[in-house]
Structure 1
């Protein structure tokens, strides 16, 4: 049985469930008071609802096999050389940014270089730059990498934004998605001050999964569905009816234009009309960003009744995530 940890509350809970449903692997939880559930379309998987801050360590220690977390939280709590690792990096939701935030009254501090100089000034005055954060490991690494060698970290689990105003810290590192709370508390970001850009990711314990066939099969099915769904979000399937002499002549017209050539080329099928005229249905798969170009090119070669759909899944010749799971650590 594959144990799948999903956040029980907080900012990741609803988006994670919505994402799994969109992937066609929705979670069934008839009793909301119960902290386990299943995925009807994936036999062999049991869902465990856990605090999102606990999931990285649970996967690390083998109490859960896979889990959904924010990348920032995983990187903060990841054990060096441990078994927990990222299986699928970007799930496409819960985007945020962990960044240095300083009082907006610090008009002369606009970059990390300015902050480095300020930390040195504090040191020369016999004090240290005070940094409040919920991510001490990531913050310390970032500050040292940017030459801020004189700073004191103040781990906190409460509201960080008020810390500079209260005098309990000089600056903070905090998660921001819109910046509204930051600006309301008269804080600002600085150039080069992004510690990490984050979004939800799927983590797993490859050592435990690869060595257990009862876990590997459902884990492979899980990552295949997620990966194929994520792949499909970048493409559209475009179909147009085109009049022509034969399939070959239409194929030549289509392949002359890179915008409508598709991933491997067009799929062309005869349309059986009442008057027996030579119409063909031309279907191509195109990148989302090139949709209108493809529609216009199909029009140029005589395309009419153009329809557009988004594939539910796009499976490549192999699944990189599934291969990593099978190989183990």
Structure 2
């Protein structure tokens, strides 16, 4: 893993002017840590577009975009980083020009390699890896690699009116939080608390292939998690574009594998999941992109405790929550 302490030099006058608002928010030290951070974002759908925009604007050192898939009409309007006239071109490569123009201080590069085919050593150049819209089998493999190398790992997806983010920051993630206490005489004291947080791996948290495991209460009741398990099963069987009746049957199969009563499954949400629309919902993608951008800032700066470990957003029921899986 690339050290986050490599660059501690003072910010240039240009950077101080460009990042003036965020410097007032989280300070020079946090900005320096961001500037020394290298991020891989794999998966340039609508969520990926939102994430890379937010990350580049924060002023990290570099962002590498990765996607082996080409742009289709269904990617728009959610994938706003690529011009419409680049349909048929690689998702990542078509997004570089617009993304680079947002912040010339950030090095933006693209790779059209399939994430499942890169070597373990490839990840050594990154501090943070964010994987979006990939099968759970690939996600699990990449998470295991990142965890072994102490690289912070995030995975996210968006389907219809639903989206989620899962984070694995390792067994001993150290960070701090700052609060202010005002005395009766008006004197303000800054209080700094140090934290050491343990995160579970993807495999130990999401029962994507271990259906015989006993589910926790949070897993059983989280509707977005259950829908994400269904989507992964549809992907593995190449059924994303299947008829609705087929999708219902697959969801019932998921409930059986998880040993859940079919009545407990959120069947009423299936129509709003829109699995066949690969782009997801642009508004939901914007929410996810904002949350993931915030988490990347926390991870890079070690300022404030990150979400541990599953954030879900349900636009139908207007519910967003964070639960430990």
The TM-score with structure 2 as length reference comes to 0.30
Which is higher, the Rg of structure 1 or of structure 2?
Answer: 1
Structure with higher helix content? 2
TM-score when normalising by structure 1: 0.30
Higher fraction of strand: 1
